[in-house]
A and B are shown apart, each in its own frame.
Chain A
Amino acid sequence: LAKTTQPISMDSYEGQEVNITCSHNNIATNDYITWYQQFPSQGPRFIIQGYKTKVTNEVASLFIPADRKSSTLSLPRVSLSDTAVYYCLVGDDAAGNKLTFGGGTRVLVKP
């Protein structure tokens, strides 16, 4: 699976938009980009997945440029409850569940 690089931590304030960028220079043609959210002592929770351009759901947007070597997770108007670790994963997980998690980005939302 392609290795990913993302910031270790980010601070934000309630109501702001948080953008987390993930680099994945050696992404393969069949790879998808997936983001998970994890709260302490809980399992990761699927947020969003995309292949190219832009994907939006009720909680986040995912922006993927044409070369697909990076992606940006956008969390609109964050609240205190969005404080968590966010993981960017790249791979073709339809071929079986063998997800490779990096270190993730610890997002702290302040009041």
Chain B
Amino acid sequence: KAGVTQTPRYLIKTRGQQVTLSCSPISGHRSVSWYQQTPGQGLQFLFEYFSETQRNKGNFPGRFSGRQFSNSRSEMNVSTLELGDSALYLCASSPQGTRGYTFGSGTRLTVV
């Protein structure tokens, strides 16, 4: 079956702009979560959505937001981009109540 699909794979934005990243989970998976990975901070949890509701949130500023649609697809938005937002953004999905999450290949965001 198809895995977790993230689009786009690569993105270059200018400081101050905003960006929207998309994640399509595995069919039937209702939980979608987002992570940021940088060389300095490693993998950090951003937020999780379950049935269109944010269920968990990490320690990121309000510039980072997300949403989940009725078909479980999710988007995350970063406003007023800063150079430090350059990172690999990863999405993971899972069915409700199971352990072991499936990650996508990520979106590489570069802010210049």
Contact = CB atoms under 8 A, between A and B. Distances in A.
B60 interface: no
A98 B92 CA distance: 10
B104 A43 contact: yes
Interface in B93-109: 94, 97-106, 108
A41 B99 contact: no
B55 interface: yes
Interface residues of B, number: 29
Interface residues of A, number: 21
Contacts of A94: 97-99
Q: Is the interface of A mostly helix, strand, loop or mixed?
A: loop
Given A43-B92, A96-B31, A104 B56 contact: no
Interface string A31-70: 0101000000111111001000000000000000000000
Contact of A41 (B42, B98, B101, B108): B108
Contacts of B105: 41-43
Contacts of B42: 101-104
**Interchain residue pairs A-B with the least CB separation, the first 5:** A43-B103, A101-B43, A97-B33, A98-B56, A46-B100
